A and B are shown apart, each in its own frame.
Chain A
Amino acid sequence: MVFKKLINWARIKSPWIIHFNTGACNACDIEILATLAPRFDLERFGVLLKGSPRHADVLVCSGPVTLQTKDRLIRVYEQMAEPKFVVAVGTCACSGGVFNGCYGVKGGIDSVIPVSAYIPGCPARPEAIIDGIVKLLKSLKQ
């Protein structure tokens, strides 16, 4: 019991993220990176950006899923170890946004893999991203 609590605590306190751009316009991506920069410093919450999907707990996706990235997205998702979560950052990642109806676009992230939190915005402000991640972590508490 105590153990379970400890593990859960550790999970909430140490969410390592991996960032995957599924065809975004870059704005969401730089806002994600900006959350690591001194002004927002996501490391305060224990967030580290990792390059290898094996090391990460949270997959942060931005952009509408293009036909070309669809399979890679699934692949990266599968490479991640359980427990894993997916956060869709930006309007595009939520629904396809302004790119809805473009022939190269499949739709939002949830048209391919399950999503745990949606952060709308175009781009989502770094504060909004932090807000989303904090909300996600809160939901893990129970």
Chain B
Amino acid sequence: MMLEREEAVRRQLIEWLGCPEDKCRVQRARRIWLEVAKEDFIKVVDFIANTLKFGMLCTITGLDAGEEIQMIYHFARDDGIVLNVKQSAPKSDPVFETVTGHYQGATLYEIETMNLLGTSVKGIPDDIRYPLPDGWPEGQHPLRKDWNREVPEIKGEGEC
């Protein structure tokens, strides 16, 4: 299969970042995966948004990878290429930078990882209760692997 466009994007990324080859791979047509260090992340996003012109952030996946919390940002371009960028932070201190500076729609996705995985994203207030119901106990993050699935009894505010 011809993967010229994908390879071109990959080369550009590797050269600009100066990262090892295996950090960026082309999975198949239109799917590129990239792993970056947390420190470089915002710089990379800037490059992706402004130079590579990925216009849309499809979503952000947060996941519990054992010792670390991993965030995967799925950027899409109008020619169909999806660039998935990963960054991780230790579970003990899962702090990430916000990408709302480049992609406005990201707020919701970031808040979602904050609630469901207990991350914290700089620049987004961390007291926002989101998609979890009102009255959900603090510190309970259902998507963490060690969270048991007993539903805590919730007393709602009862307001309409």
Alpha-carbon distance between A68 and B131 when the two chains are bound, in angstroms: 9
Tally chain B residues at the interface, Cβ within 8 Å. 14
| 1/0 contact string of B140-160 vs chain A (CB within 8 Å) | 001000000101001011111
The answer to whether B134 has its CB under 8 Å from any CB of chain A is: yes
Residues on A with C-beta less than 8 A from B151 are: 67, 103-106
Contact of A75 with B142 in the complex, beta carbons under 8 Å: no
Q: Which of B114-160 contact A (CB under 8 A)?
A: 131-134, 136, 142, 149, 151, 154, 156-160
Knowing A67-B133, A68-B133, A68-B134, the reply to whether A103 touches B156 (Cβ < 8 A) is: no
Query: Least Cβ distance of A100 to chain B in Å?
Result: 11
Contacts from A to B (Cβ < 8 Å):
66-68, 70-72, 74-75, 101, 103-106
Chain B residues in the interface with A (C-beta under 8 A): 131-134, 136, 142, 149, 151, 154, 156-160
Distance of A115 from chain B, by nearest CB (Å): 20
- Smallest CB–CB gap between B129 and chain A, Å? 10
Contacts of B154 in A (CB 8 A): 67
Nearest B residue (CB) for A76:
B160
A131 to chain B, nearest CB (A): 32
When C-beta atoms are compared, the residue in chain A nearest to B135 turns out to be A67
Does B157 lie within 8 Å of A71, measured CB to CB?
A: yes
Smallest CB separation, A12 vs chain B (Å):
31
B160 & A103 in contact (Cβ 8 Å cutoff): no
CB distance from A111 to the nearest CB of B (A): 12
